[in-house]
Structure 1
Amino acid sequence: MERRELWEVIEEARRRAPGDAEAVAEEMVAILAALPRERIVAAAQPLWDLLTDAYRIDLWAAAYLINGGASDDGFVYFRGWLVAQGREAFERAVAEPDSLAGLPAVRAAAERDEDLEAPDIVSTVWNAHLKATGEELPPGSFAIRHPALDDWDFDDPAQVRARLPRLAALYLD
């Protein structure tokens, strides 16, 4: 499965479950589980490639700011949430993490002091394969290749304000 095809699955899931990342994950599982086994397995790598594209220090800082902290797992779940926002929002955030401040979901989360995470997005292909076949994904179905990240003190308000001014205005001011 090509990345473009995975985005089509994600967008269809978003149409079926607008505004709810966990419901998007459920719809993705349903859509993928209806595909032939080989196509389900083939969706694993493009999903992890998307999650890896978002494995950036500035996005980690954004997740840390938005969620009041972000462990390794928390950052994976935040990236899952970001995938569930759709291709346009995802690509904009990867290119410019401070653009997240313009998303209504981020603004609402800031007002309500809510975390933005979607752990079930990360396991959609796994769950779809299990649902369709009763079996786990075969070993070697995907590889995770995270790049090395620069160092950044997310607890330093001056660094956050300098690098993520719009998000800092929502979360620090």
Structure 2
Amino acid sequence: MDKTEFWDLVGRARADVAARAVPATGGGSAPGSGSGPGDGSGADSGSAPVTGSGARADAERGGAGQPDTRAVADRVAELLAERPAEHISAAQQVLWDLMAESYRAPLWAAAYTVNGGCSDDGFDYFRAWLIGQGREVFERVVADPDALAGLDAVREVAGSWAELECERVLGVAWDAHHAATGEQLPATWSVSYAPLDPDWSFDFDDEREIARRLPALAALFFKDETDEADRTTEGDATGRTDDRDGTGAAPEEDGGAR
């Protein structure tokens, strides 16, 4: 299985899920039943990411009129399970080739902005969600992370506590292989990440810098903060400005790509 075949599977899964037209319940989906590691990485397995209360259903959404990403992942696993075992192993390699392709600092900064923070694992789950959106969206956003601002799913979570993540996508080959063979997926795949662009090694909490580099996302996610900043720096009738904490200090640098 090559990249084109893998993307065809994702596209078919998305079409199948959309055709079912099952209204979302708002309660999220049950965890996958596969016996492999939840993230399918073979190196950093563990618990699912912690999100805000009630946020998981939102985190895996596809946007208005789009299929739920977790349901897409489940359908990809079902379709993969119909293939020979060697095709499933090849799909696992393609999946992680896409993860490596999308391991880019500008996209990490964008994910940090959309999700209100983004750890190493969180960036994996965000990129997994992005793969679940299909080839056209994935390639467009990897090439231009600011294009995220045009996605319905991203616009829907702006101003909320929801995060766009879908760890389930990373386990599709594990579950497919177990369903097809009753055995664990053999560890025959690998992933190699290129170094992150040092020009993006700034604090991702720096909204001014994010606004300079990702203007559409900044306009979507920082609007209220920007309006508030404009009001407080204009000064009052006496010409004073508002230094709320009395220090004028910049935010502590605890964000950004690590």
> Could you say which residue in structure 1 is the equivalent of 2:6?
6
Long gaps (5+) in structure 2: 19-66, 224-258
> 1:129 touches 1:137 (CA, 8 Å); kept in 2?
yes
How far apart, in 1, do the equivalents of 2:178 and 2:118 lie? 29
Give the greater-gyration-radius structure (CA).
2
> Could you say which residue in structure 2 is the equivalent of 1:15?
15
> 2:77 touches 2:176 (CA, 8 Å); kept in 1?
yes
TM-score, normalising length: structure 1: 0.96
Question: Map of 1:127-146 to 2, 5 A cutoff?
Answer: 127-140=175-188, 142-146=189-193
1:43 alignment partner, one of 91, 95, 98:
91
Instruction: Note the C-alpha offset of 1:139.
Output: 2.0
Question: Map of 1:52-67 to 2, 5 A cutoff?
Answer: 52-67=100-115
Q: CA offsets per residue over residues 37-82 of structure 1, 9 Å max, x none? A: 1111111111111111111001111111111111111000000110
Matched-pair identity in %: 49
Q: State the structure with bigger RCO (CA 8 A, min sep 6), 1 or 2.
A: 1
2:136 alignment partner, one of 85, 88, 93:
88
> Could you say which residue in structure 1 is the equivalent of 2:79?
31
Moved over 3 A (4+): none
Aligned pair count? 172
TM-score, normalising length: structure 2: 0.65
Question: Map of 1:160-171 to 2, 5 A cutoff?
Answer: 160-171=210-221
Long gaps (5+) in structure 1: none
> 1:62 touches 1:98 (CA, 8 Å); kept in 2?
yes
Secondary structure, aligned partner of 1:88 = helix
How far apart, in 2, do the equivalents of 1:6 and 1:20 lie? 19
> 2:159 touches 2:221 (CA, 8 Å); kept in 1?
no
Instruction: Note the C-alpha offset of 1:111.
Output: 4.5
